A = this chain, B = another copy of it.
Amino acid sequence: MKVNQHIKVAVDAVVFGYTGNELELLLIQQKYGSEKNKWALPGGFLKDEEDLQTGVARELNEETGVNPNYLEQLFTFGSINRDPRGRVISVSYMALINPKNYVLKAATDASDAKWFSIKELPPLAYDHPEIVKKGLERLKSKIHYQPIGFELLNKEFPFSDLEKLYQTILDKSIDRRNFRKKMLSFGVLEETDKSYKPSSGRPAKLFKFNKRKYNELEEKGFHFEIKFA
């Protein structure tokens, strides 16, 4: 194939985590290069023999040690000068993980991985602010019509966690009663027999998301959709 093209293809990941208080973003520190000491999204150049999603997953694992089970393509960024090193287009992905499930890789020679509150991000390299913005938008909108919030929580969680998660992501308060009513009405949450004891106050039942049931319902035309005042 004769094409005279000198464009490199990179993949980058916007990885969200939730701690119970804050929405967080996973970043790595650039130790070398023109953007030294800035922070960047995990990512890197795609290999000739791997497909896009495999590529991000690999880079993510190499650079931070995490292996998300939710990974979704976001957008492809291709402005001519987005990377001062040359023409690079970046296929970006959004990943959701529960930070508790991983210990971040310690600093390697290439990078140092760390969680940052989405509200206090350090200076980011390249056009990564734009990519993060796209990720946030996607997360905020998708959480309304896809049950992706559960990817950020423990397998079993008290209702209040789910509620706080939504409030944190959407950055607004929601009515507890209406939220619970609506969520439960979908019939995709299962009450477990366990309960969780908060540091003070009444213990809460633990719930879990029943993915099988969700898939079943979805086949039948059901749509997860949650809105707020």
Contacts and interface: CB of A to CB of B under 8 A. Distances in A.
Given A5-B9, A7-B9, A46-B5, A51 B80 contact: yes
A182 interface: no
Residue in A1, A8, A85 with the greatest tally of chain B CB atoms within 10 Å: A1
- Interface range on chain A: under 10, 10 to 19, 20 to 34, or 35 or more? 20 to 34
Residue in A6, A48, A73, A85 with the greatest tally of chain B CB atoms within 10 Å: A48
A129 interface: no
Contacts of A52: 76, 78, 89
Copies of this chain present in the complex amount to 2
A80 B1 contact: no
B91 A78 contact: yes
A164 to B, nearest CB: 24
Contact of A45 (B5, B9, B47, B75): B5
B8 A8 contact: no
Interface string A51-87: 1100000000000000000000101101110000111
B80 A47 contact: no
Contacts of A6: 48
Nearest to A6: B48
Given A73-B75, A75-B73, A49 B80 contact: yes
A75 B49 CA distance: 20
Nearest to A44: B3
Interface string A28-53: 00000000000000000111111110
B79 A7 contact: no
Contacts of A73: 75-76
Interface of A: 1, 3, 5-9, 45-52, 73, 75-76, 78-80, 85-89, 91
8 contacts: A1-B86, A3-B8, A7-B9, A7-B48, A9-B78, A73-B75, A76-B91, A78-B91
